[in-house]
Amino acid sequence: MAHYDLSTPITEAQTRALRIDDTVTLNGPLFGIRDATQIAMFDRGRATRFDLAGHAVIHTAPNVKKVDVSPANPTGYAPVCIGTTTSSRMERFTRPLLERCGVRIVIGKGGLGVASLAAFGEIGGAYLAIVGGTAALETTWIEAIEDVDLDDLNPESLWRFRVRGFGPLRVAMDSHGGSLYTSVDADARGKRAAALAALGVNARPAR
Amino acid sequence: MLRIDPGVVENVAKELYIRALKILPPDIKQGFDTLAARETAATAQNVLGTMIRNIAVAEATDNLLCQDTGIPIYNVTIGRGVELSGDDGAALKAAIRKGCERATREHPLRSSIVHPLTRANEHTSCGIGVPVIQIDHRDEIDGLRIEMIPKGSGSENNSWLKMAVPAEGIDAIKTFVIDCVLDAGGKTCPPTIVGVGVGGTADLCMHLAKIAATRPLGTHCADAEGAKLEDELSGAVNMLGVGPQGLGGDATAFAVHVELAATHITMNPVAVNMQCHSARRASAAITSAGVSYGF
């Protein structure tokens, strides 16, 4: 298990070096996306002026406050609390993010499914697990909100954060077919019969 | 007699939303210590450590524990000596709604609430039927008690109801809970409080599951059979190895809580609603002595 300190954007080779259970700390631009952002981009054909090639995206919609535009807050938004949402709702957008936008890293919580895992393998991508529900800590890793696009979708705008020492994050899905979620799920389902036996239930097949 | 002052209720509703988002109740903090002490998996120990650190960072930086401001729920209990007449009920609800909106605008907080069809966000944390406001009466308390729960969507999106039949018995209830925990995996932000409703009608059963999921740790079902069931289930779900964040480990749930209602001779309903590890809640008592805050 290796640790990588990466500055975005990264290359395909850097992405493919990542293996499950490695840890990563990110520096540089990080893009915030969510359900509405990706519905707009991939279902409704909205274009973004941001170049996401080689970059990392995080499943988020932040708490922000409106402030005067300044060098520190060029968008007129200052961060209040920035955390991470459940990734699985956005499963079908992983492939277009990689294929059409050139995204290399998806950061989220709770994991993605088999279609995303296939896209990571074919195109070269990885999923980094952050600890969900720890947004106060996560916010301390964010230096600024550098830019925002598609802001009519606020809070589900396309955000460009600048991060430093963002992590450590755990590589939970890699480009070699590895997924911690698949292995943990298989192990847990393997323990189903024992858990039911402890409850005095004769295990029947799962619904 | 205590006359309800809408201005006081409005301020309390505002304050409660912000407090709930920032300070985790002591029973949940203790629950983390218990889980961390007995966790055997290295990854899980690491994840639990990050969660515990976040609780301290939120308090030190006066920030929100989690970015999800949730669906705001206010549970109001009207106790002894409260004068409630005329339009007071409607005024009470309006004051809570106003307080919720003010918390969102004035802190500010992310409004997580949208119209269900247009998806339009009014940026007030309010909408049709939201905040959820439930009013109950209890003679054992003095004055007015308001509990606020910002219910996170990661856990709420994993909610289930099964209208089992009597022939399937209690085994159907136990099997359903185990299968729900397996299906939820890491999506509910485990370790969770698994709330189980048993009995009632379909809607009451689901409501009981929510009450169970948001009950303080260390409390038990008032019914002896229900309490026995929650003990058994608490042990069993933590045999599965889903672990914190679904990344494997012992700490899948803080506890399984069960709430019961009588049901029909033909029915055997069971519902599951989960509370994520950021098991946030805050409460306030409004009495003739003033306002006091707690959990």
Closest CA to B111 of B122, B120, B102: B122
Where do the structural domains in chain B lie, given as residue ranges? Answer: 2-20+65-152+280-294, 153-275
**Residue pLDDT, tens place only, B73-113:** 999 999 998 987 778 889 999 999 999 999 999 999 999 99
Task: State chain A's mean pLDDT as an integer.
Answer: 97
- How many Cα neighbours within 13 Å face the side chain of B92? 24
> CA of A96: how far to CAs of A90, A108, A111, B38, B43, in Å?
11, 17, 17, 42, 31
Residues of B in contact with A62 (CB under 8 A): 67, 110
Report the CATH architecture of A3-198: Alpha-Beta Barrel (3.20)
Chosen for mutation from A90, A131, A180 (greatest number of chain B CBs closer than 10 Å) is A131
Q: What is the mean pLDDT of residues B218-236?
A: 98
Q: Residue B36: enclosing H or E segment and its boundaries? A: helix B26-38
Closest partner residue to A181 (CB to CB) among B61, B112, B186 is B186
Closest CA to A136 of B240, B40, B280: B280
Chosen for mutation from A109, A161, A199, A202 (greatest number of chain B CBs closer than 10 Å) is A199
Q: What is the mean pLDDT of residues B130-139?
A: 96
Is the pLDDT at A206 greater than 70? The verdict is no
**Residue B53, Cα to own-chain centre: how many angstroms?**
22
Where do the structural domains in chain A lie, given as residue ranges? Answer: 3-198
Please, which pLDDT band fits residue B2 given cuts at 50, 70 and 90? confident
Reading the block at residue B194, the tokens are 């698994």
Closest partner residue to B110 (CB to CB) among A89, A155, A185 is A155
Closest Cα in chain B to A59: B67
**Residue pLDDT, tens place only, A60-103:** 999 999 999 999 999 999 999 999 999 999 999 999 999 999 99
**Residue pLDDT, tens place only, B168-204:** 999 999 999 999 999 999 999 999 999 999 999 999 9
Percentage of chain B modeled with pLDDT above 90: 95
Per-residue model confidence (pLDDT) at position B161: 98
Chosen for mutation from A84, A87, A134 (greatest number of chain B CBs closer than 10 Å) is A134
Alpha-carbon Rg for chain A in angstroms: 18
Residues of A in contact with B61 (CB under 8 A): 136, 139-140
The answer to whether the Cα torsion of B134, B140, B142, B148 is positive or negative is negative
Per-residue model confidence (pLDDT) at position B89: 86
Q: Are A144 and A162 in contact (CB under 8 A)?
A: yes
Per-residue model confidence (pLDDT) at position B84: 76
Per-residue model confidence (pLDDT) at position A207: 59
Per-residue model confidence (pLDDT) at position B148: 98
Percentage of chain A modeled with pLDDT above 70: 98
**Residue pLDDT, tens place only, B234-269:** 999 999 999 999 999 999 999 999 999 999 999 999
DSSP notation for B172-216: HHHHHHHHHHHHHTTTT-SSEEEEEEEES-HHHHHHHHHHHHTSP
Q: How far apart are CA A71 and CA A80, in angstroms?
A: 17
DSSP A92: G
Q: What is the mean pLDDT of residues A147-169?
A: 98
Closest CA to A32 of A113, A97, A122: A97
Torsion of CA B226, B154, B54, A140, to 10 degrees: -170
* Whether the model pTM is above 0.90: yes
Residues of B in contact with A23 (CB under 8 A): none
